[in-house]
Amino acid sequence: MEYKVPPKDSVFNTTFEHLPGFMMFDSTRVSPHSYLELISKVGEGDEVTFSLSVDTLKKFGALEYNQIFHRNDVIKGKMKILKIFKGEEEANADYKKEIELEKNRELDLLKKYVKEKGITAKELPSGVMVQVEKEGEGSKPDSGQTVLVLYKGYFPNGKEFDSNNGPKSPNKNPLSIQVGAGGVIPGMEEGIRSFGKGGKGKIFIPALMGYGMGGQPPIIPQYANLIFDVEVIDVMATPPPPPTPAPQMPPMRR
């Protein structure tokens, strides 16, 4: 699936050349004025183009006018049916294959980047790559511990998207990561385990270990591989949460 938006027909969302979308189609639950109206009219291997009126989508409550979708705009769509599955088991098996293909595509791009830059990096089981410039002191962080990190995040093309260690960074406080808690993207949480206190290096994160197929618009695009320069300020035990105050009993009435 692919969507383009005015004024220059720029790609707003696409799965072409990436992980295709998988869906269970129910002809009794078709949203009006959407690509779902076309599904029952196409077959395996078919490719169609279509247009969607932003005004009509707003009328049906599918979206609101904003900085991307404006009054009188027309969204241009493209859809290709790759395969129609006989059942959920067959679809799940194919989905797992496509996930592996996507992981390999992303990792190949990161490996190419690392090679071109002359960087020596180790590959972790998930596909995250780490260049350890300085290991740091003490044991590496483990689940349940908290790590304080200074970082700069950027894309392989060099464009920076976030940092807390630059002269123009709006927030210069170290990022607090509780290892194992899932508070940051999986690639960062896995990569930071390679550094002790005072450690420095780079973490190369494939898209599916970052913000994945959806990205984080408008800052992180779809399927974006990410690079982080990191410096671990401290590794420490996670402080216990504050005690929950006891509920207050209402005063007794006489």
204 is catalytic: no
151 is catalytic: yes
203 is catalytic: no
Catalytic residue among 195, 204, 223, 228: 228
233 is catalytic: no
Residue by residue, DSSP assigns 194-216 as G--BT-EEEEEE-GGGTTTTT-B
155 is catalytic: no
For residue 83, give Cα distances in angstroms to 31, 37, 80, 227.
22, 18, 9, 35
Catalytic residue among 69, 195, 204, 211: 211
User: Are 181 and 213 in contact, with CB atoms under 8 Å apart?
Assistant: no
Distance CA(218)–CA(224), nearest Å, equals 12
Catalytic residue among 155, 162, 233, 234: 162
Catalytic residue among 69, 151, 195, 204: 151
For residue 98, the Cα-to-chain-centroid distance in whole angstroms is 17
What count of other Cβ atoms lies within 10 Å of the Cβ of residue 72? 8
Q: Token digits for 84?
A: 């129609």
What residues form DSSP beta bridges with 203?
130, 228
Catalytic residue among 22, 35, 154, 161: 161
113 is catalytic: no
Catalytic residue among 75, 177, 185, 203: 185
Distance CA(214)–CA(222), nearest Å, equals 5
Residues with a catalytic annotation lie at 151, 161-162, 185, 211, 228
